[in-house]
Amino acid sequence: MSTSTVLFDLPGPRARRRQRIGTVLGGLLIAALVGLALWRLGINGQLDPARWAVLFDLRAGVPQALGEALLNTLEVAAVGMVAATLLGALLAAGRLSDHIWVRIPVTAIIEFFRAVPLLVLILFAFLFLPTVGVPMTAFRALAIGLTLYNMAVLAEIFRAGILSVDRGQREAAFALGMRKTQVMTLVLLPQAVRRMLPVLVAQLVVLLKDSSLGFIVGYLELLRQARALVEFFNFRFGDLYTFQLYVAAGLIYIVVNVLLSQLARYVEKRTARSAKTAATEQVEEPVDVQMGQGGGGVGAPR
């Protein structure tokens, strides 16, 4: 429904004038609020260029530290992505199995890991596994937590993708005398993968962003690194650079997020054009994928 044309008439001259006045007043109000915020920042000395220069000061080591933190983030995310994708595919196959003694426990595992917050899983790996003799580092805890949570979400995505292939394809394949494995690998998967790809990429992006939760277990990712830098500078110069460092970390996050969202959109566009997905239904992006677990969601591909 194109609400914009049905729900109201096109505005006449008087309505347009009213809207213009409203726009100007609203704009002035917002400008005043922004100005007020900047003024307060200025009074507190936060806009002093010398304070911002530290972010680009190679001798103080700030750009190196932030870059290293970004690499740390990418590293743990890469491990999580590979492990979660493999395990997720296995779980999806298990959930679609014809054997009830496979299907039920696998379903329980998927539902359990989807219902528990990611942070709790990370803490579980970090605090519990060492007590049963598994040597643990912040990196491993983060990777295990990300893998456990995301394999469950990815399993659901794979399942939805396979179920989205038109029933006729499967029936035709069986009618040709193919076996279960052949139907899956030769007919269903090639079509399902194309359809799943955008959602899969979106979830992997979410996984990357969720690695920001590492700052709670002390993994040196971006936020933690910013905090470490803040503590270091506070010790030497007092509370000079706190605001600047946090803003820098936040901005890096947002830039990375927006870039990755663009990537997801690009993949979506490319697969949407392909005629090879004609026999599948549209798979909607589940909310688990959109909202993330603290890492934040992906802008909707539209």
Partner 1 sequence: MQFLIDNFPLLRSAFLTTLSLAVASGLFALVLGTILAGMRVSPAPTLRGLATFYVEVFRNTPLTVVFFFLFFGIVEIDLQFPSRFIAAVAALGLYTAAFVAEALRSGINAVPTGQAEAARAIGLDFGQSLRTVVLPQAFRTVVPPLGNVWIALAKNTSIAAGFAVTDLTAALQRLANVNADQILMVFFAIVLGYLVITLPSAWAFRAIETRVAIVR
Q: Which residues contribute to the site for partner 1 (CB under 8 A)?
A: 1-4, 6-8, 11, 15, 19, 22-23, 26, 36-37, 40-41, 44, 46, 115-120, 123-124, 127-128, 131, 209, 212-213, 215-216, 223, 242-243, 246-247, 249-250, 253-254, 257-258, 261, 286-288, 290-300
Residue placing its CB nearer to partner 1 in the complex, 17 or 180: 17
Beta carbon of residue 4, minimum distance to partner 1 (angstroms, whole number): 7
Kindly report the length of the chain: 302
Residue 107: other Cβ atoms inside 10 A: 14
Work out how close the CB of 156 gets to partner 1 at its nearest, in angstroms, rounded to a whole number.
12
Based on the number of CB atoms within 10 Å of its own CB, is 144 exposed (0-12), middle (13-18) or buried (19 or more)? buried
Could you give the maximum distance between any two Cα atoms of the chain, in Å? 78
Q: Are 83 and 143 in contact (CB under 8 A)?
A: yes
Q: Are 295 and 206 in contact (CB under 8 A)?
A: yes
Give the pair of three-digit tokens for residue 159.
């399942």
d(CA 221, CA 208) in angstroms, rounded, equals: 11
173 and 187 in contact (C-beta within 8 Å)?
yes
Nearest distance from C-beta of residue 266 to partner 1, angstroms: 16
CB of 83 to partner 1, least distance (A): 21
Q: Which is nearer to partner 1, 84 or 230 (CB)?
A: 230
Q: How far is the CB of 197 from partner 1 (least distance, A)?
A: 20
Nearer to partner 1, 183 or 209 (CB): 209
C-beta of 225 vs 242, nearer to partner 1: 242
HSE toward the beta carbon, residue 90, CA cutoff 13 A: 10
Min. distance of Cβ 210 from partner 1 in angstroms?
9
Minimum CB separation of residue 132 from partner 1 in Å reads 9
d(CA 266, CA 275) in angstroms, rounded, equals 17
Q: How far is Cα 75 from Cα 190, in angstroms, rounded to an integer? A: 29
The residues that bridge with 280 in the sheet, in sequence order, are 165
Contact status, residue 226 vs residue 200, Cβ threshold 8 Å? no
Query: 1 in helix, strand or coil?
Result: coil
As beta bridge partners, residue 165 has 280
Residue 284 beta carbon to partner 1: minimum distance, rounded to whole angstroms: 9
Instruction: State the residue for tokens 């299907």.
Output: 103
Among residues 131 and 181, whose Cβ is nearest to partner 1? 131
